[in-house]
Amino acid sequence: MNSNKSRILIVIMLVTILILYMKYQKAQTKLFLQSLDLKYLYERAMWHTEAVEEFYSPDITTETEPDPPYMQRSYKLQQTGNYQLPDLEDNEAELYFQSHTNIFFIISTIFQAGLAKLNPRQTCAIESAARSNPEWKVFVLFVSATEFSFFNSPNIVPLLPYPNVFLRRVNMTTVGLGSPVEEMFERGALNNSSFIVEHTSDVLRLLTVYKYGGTYLDTDVVVMKSLDELPLNYLVSEGDGFVANGIINLQASGVGHTLAESML
């Protein structure tokens, strides 16, 4: 009887080890495929000579067509060897399609030479949102950057294999047009602010959910679970009894839109 029990135990242990080993192999294969994608990007950037019209798409290894409307995941390689960030407004269709599953991060830091950069904490926040919400689209909006470099933006590279991460730039001249802040942007009120980076981010997060609808997250928010469980239209307190603006979910129509409008 006892030896039977220990045999069953051994079989269970063996099966467990086998399952763990298979999971490990699967993860390794995935990492390998991702590194192939990155190798491709690296070589393109390294060996570009007269490349102007070349695109990088993290989807090159899959054969499935993207869902309509077409989502631009590719970044145009410039003659400088940097990749151009597509303009948010040039790709607005991708935002309206199922707008309740948009996630926005805003990077309003002012970069020298317009080269987008992220620090490890920001990358971690963005990656956590993308991983725990694979069905959602994660937009990283750069205010004063127009390009990223494979060599000089090291913390951007780990985000490139995620098919649901979209790096975009925001044109401050046009983004506010037709919104309640149009006049404020036009007279350059933000330019005079002594906290230009913070205030730009504060206005832009409301403007983004007002225009497109979705969830804004600060770049120090780590997402552990799917956001699907949460209701629509919420604001969050950081625990001091006051409503904070580090996490905002407002929809582009109805009560969410009205609230965003009055806050703008």
Ligand X SMILES: *[C@@H]1O[C@H](CO)[C@@H](O)[C@H](O)[C@H]1NC(C)=O
Residues binding ligand X (CB under 6 A)? 146, 171, 173-174, 187-189, 191-192
Question: Nearest approach, Cβ of 235 to ligand X (angstroms)?
Answer: 29
Beta strands in the chain (DSSP E): 55-56, 75-77, 83-84, 102-107, 137-142, 147-148, 165-169, 214-217, 234-237, 243-250
Question: Nearest approach, Cβ of 252 to ligand X (angstroms)?
Answer: 22
Cα within 13 Å of Cα(116), Cβ side: 28
Question: Nearest approach, Cβ of 188 to ligand X (angstroms)?
Answer: 3
- Closest to ligand X by CB, 57 vs 146, is 146
Strand pairing class (55-56; 75-77): antiparallel
- Closest to ligand X by CB, 86 vs 213, is 86
- Closest to ligand X by CB, 62 vs 191, is 191
- Closest to ligand X by CB, 157 vs 172, is 172
Q: How far, in Å, CA of 257 to CA of 211, rounded?
A: 8
Please spell the DSSP secondary structure of 197-218, one letter per residue: HHHHHHHHHHHHHHHH-EEEE-
Q: Nearest Cα to 209, choosing from 246, 252, 179, 164?
A: 252
Question: Nearest approach, Cβ of 110 to ligand X (angstroms)?
Answer: 9
Q: How far, in Å, CA of 142 to CA of 50, rounded?
A: 27
- Closest to ligand X by CB, 117 vs 256, is 117
Question: Nearest approach, Cβ of 186 to ligand X (angstroms)?
Answer: 7
Question: Nearest approach, Cβ of 214 to ligand X (angstroms)?
Answer: 23
Ranked by CB distance to ligand X, the top (closest) residue is 188
- Closest to ligand X by CB, 13 vs 113, is 113
What would the two tokens of residue 161 be? Answer: 């294999």
Cα separation of the two ends of the chain: 74
